[in-house]
């Protein structure tokens, strides 16, 4: 039977990071392209304005040269530099040395027509160098109307272009994500369907084993029954993990004051047969008994997963010490350990680092999710092939 299709797709951290990087790169490229176009448009508009002004400036230049010519002819009589209200001017000799100027600022002779400090400049070279003037600069004020118009146009264009790029980016990202989403959906759906189908047989096995009077069994049968008990509990644990994951958000939370010492002992007893099968010595050491205001089912799930992992990845004849302090529970085991570089990735869903034992890689993801919900801090220390220490702090 299929279950509801409304699944919450969980993207792992590395996948999210890749997506963020692609989105940032796309955004940066979009900004560069938009700014590149804006700059080109601005330059074109400026050039257009300069070309429109050129004729007017050329006329001013002609007028100035006529006056300069008159001054050149009559230089022995008058030395008054020709001025006009319409424009400012400057003259330079062939060595680009300033002869005279009505413009106070530094001028460039490298371009013919240019805009500098909101002033339009035209540099012309007359046929005859009146008073030695090879370069004549005519300067008029730029009314900046073109600038205001271009600014508005660019603002509108940038907004529009950015919106379009954003929509394209969003569509592309969704397309890019689709195969990944489909794969995760498929896995989630498979797990949900399997979980649902496991419910009845697992419950039947566990309940029936519990109902058997073990005192009446001979040693051989008891051994077999114990093996079935271990197997059933393992399946039951996996079943509970999967149920928690698939129905995690829909489970009714019932927070209450929980005696931690009592709960730890109860869970250790539950896993006793599993530990015995592997000859793992398990003990609870209560330094300071304390209680937490938490949902019992969730805390049990958290503890179960940590104990289950400690058994699963332990050595034959290994040990598990569970120590309860005032502000922490420590799960210490003599297991295979975890490499330092893998410790960070451990709490991601479906992450497994070895194939020593079976599993879906869900355990620590559930532990992490419950710990986050109740603001519990998880600290993992380990030495590969030697030991692992998981501390749950509050």
Complete DSSP assignment for 12-71: -HHHHHHHHHHHHHHHHHHHHHHHHHHHHHHHHHHHHHHHHHHHHHHHHHHHHHHHHHHH
Cα torsion through 50, 53, 57, 59, rounded to 10 = 140
Shortest distance (Å) from residue 129 CB to another protein:
4
20 counts as binding another protein under rule CB under 8 A: no
Indicate whether 67 belongs to the interface with another protein (CB under 8 A). Answer: no
In the complex, the smallest distance separating the C-beta of residue 74 from another protein, rounded to whole angstroms, is 10
Round to whole Å and give the CA distance between 291 and 304: 18
Using the contact rule CB under 8 A, the part of the chain among 49-57, 88-96, 228-236, 283-291 near another protein is 88-96
Instruction: Say whether residue 76 binds another protein (CB under 8 A).
Output: yes
Q: How many CA atoms lie within 13 A of 315 on its CB side?
A: 13
Question: Taking CB under 8 A as the rule, does residue 377 contact another protein?
Answer: no
Residue 81 within binding range of another protein, rule CB under 8 A: yes
CB atoms within 10 A of CB 306: 22
Shortest distance (Å) from residue 108 CB to another protein: 19
The one segment of 95-103, 109-117, 230-238, 344-352 that binds another protein by CB under 8 A: 95-103
Q: Is 129 in the site for another protein (CB under 8 A)?
A: yes
User: Which of 132-140, 213-221, 289-297, 323-331 is the region at the interface with another protein (rule: CB under 8 A)?
Assistant: 132-140
Q: Which of residues 54 and 72 has its CB atom nearest to another protein in the complex?
A: 72
Q: Interacting stretch for another protein, rule CB under 8 A, among 8-16, 73-81, 244-252, 295-303?
A: 73-81
Tokens 């603002």 belong to 155
Q: Any contact of residue 70 with another protein (CB under 8 A)?
A: no
Alpha carbons 392 and 294: distance in angstroms, whole number: 14
Residue 307 · residue 327 · CB < 8 Å: no
Question: Among residues 379, 389, 237, 245, which one has the least CA distance to residue 308?
Answer: 237
Could you give the C-alpha distances from 377 to 87, 170, 304, 381, in angstroms and in order?
Answer: 76, 36, 17, 13
Strand partners, 121: 114, 139
Nearest distance, CB of residue 100 and another protein, angstroms: 4
Rounded Cα distance between 43 and 36, Å, is: 11
Shortest CA distance to 245 belongs to which of 63, 71, 93, 370? 370
**Lookup: tokens for 10:** 């969980």
Interaction between residue 128 and another protein (CB under 8 A)? yes
Q: Check residue 93 for interaction with another protein (CB under 8 A).
A: yes
Does position 90 interact with another protein (CB under 8 A)? The reply is: no
- Of 130 and 331, nearer to another protein (C-beta) is 130
Structure-block tokens of residue 73: 């002819």
- Taking CB under 8 A as the binding criterion, the range among 69-77, 113-121, 215-223, 244-252 that sits at the site for another protein is 69-77
Distances (CA, A) of 266 to 9, 300, 309, 390: 34, 9, 17, 19
Rg (CA), the chain: 41
Q: Does residue number 75 form part of the binding site for another protein (CB under 8 A)?
A: yes
Residue 67: CB minimum distance to another protein, A: 12
The token duo for 279 is 């000859």
Q: Which of 115, 122, 133, 138 binds another protein (CB under 8 A)?
A: 133
CB contact set of 7 (below 8 Å; sequence gap of 6+): 185, 188, 189, 192
CB-nearer residue toward another protein: 97 or 185 = 97
* 43 near another protein (CB under 8 A): no
Nearer to another protein, 42 or 81 (CB): 81
Choose between 90 and 230: whose C-beta lies nearer to another protein.
Answer: 90
Q: How far is the CB of 76 from another protein (least distance, A)?
A: 6
Smallest distance from the beta carbon of 120 to another protein, in angstroms? 24
Task: Pick the closer one to another protein by CB: 62 or 97.
Answer: 97
Out of 46, 54, 67, 72, the residue judged to bind another protein by CB under 8 A: 72
For another protein, the binding residue among 64, 87, 130, 244 (CB under 8 A) is 130
SS3 380: strand
Contacts to another protein by CB under 8 A: 72, 75-76, 79-81, 93-95, 97, 99-100, 128-134
């Amino acid at each position: 039977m299929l279950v509801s299709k409304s699944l919450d797709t969980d993207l792992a951290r590395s996948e999210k990071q890749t997506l963020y990087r692609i989105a940032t790169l796309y955004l940066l490229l979009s900004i560069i392209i938009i700014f590149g176009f804006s700059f080109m448009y601005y330059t074109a508009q400026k050039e257009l304005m300069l070309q429109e002004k050129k004729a007017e400036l050329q006329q001013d230049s002609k007028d100035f040269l006529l006056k300069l010519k008159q001054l050149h002819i009559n230089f022995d009589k008058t030395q008054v530099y020709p001025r006009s209200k319409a424009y400012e001017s400057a003259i330079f000799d062939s060595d680009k040395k300033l002869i005279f100027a009505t413009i106070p600022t530094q001028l460039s002779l490298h371009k013919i027509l240019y805009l500098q400090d909101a002033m339009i400049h035209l540099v012309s070279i007359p046929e005859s160098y009146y008073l030695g003037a090879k370069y004549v600069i005519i300067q008029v004020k730029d009314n900046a109307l073109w600038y205001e118009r271009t600014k508005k146009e660019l603002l509108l264009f940038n907004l529009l272009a950015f919106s379009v790029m954003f929509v394209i980016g969003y569509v592309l990202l969704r397309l890019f994500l689709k195969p990944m989403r489909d794969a995760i959906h498929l896995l989630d759906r498979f797990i949900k369907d399997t979980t649902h189908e496991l419910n009845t047989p697992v419950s039947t096995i566990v309940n029936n084993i519990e109902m058997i009077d073990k005192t009446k069994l001979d040693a051989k049968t008891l051994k077999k029954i114990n093996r079935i008990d271990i197997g059933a509990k393992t399946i039951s644990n996996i079943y509970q993990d999967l149920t928690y994951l698939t129905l995690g958000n829909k489970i009714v939370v019932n927070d209450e004051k929980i005696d931690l010492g009592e709960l730890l002992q109860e869970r250790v007893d539950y896993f006793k047969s599993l530990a015995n099968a592997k000859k793992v010595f398990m003990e609870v050491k209560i330094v300071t008994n304390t209680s937490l205001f938490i949902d019992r089912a969730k805390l049990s799930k958290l503890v179960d997963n940590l104990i289950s992992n400690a058994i699963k990845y332990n050595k034959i004849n290994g040990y598990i010490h569970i120590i309860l302090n005032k502000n922490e529970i420590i799960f210490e085991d003599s297991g295979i350990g975890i490499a330092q570089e893998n410790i960070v990735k451990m709490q991601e869903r479906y992450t497994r680092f070895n194939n020593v034992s079976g599993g879906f890689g869900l355990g620590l993801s559930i532990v992490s999710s419950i710990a986050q919900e109740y603001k519990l801090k998880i600290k993992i220390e380990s030495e590969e092939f030697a030991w692992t220490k998981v501390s749950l702090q509050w």
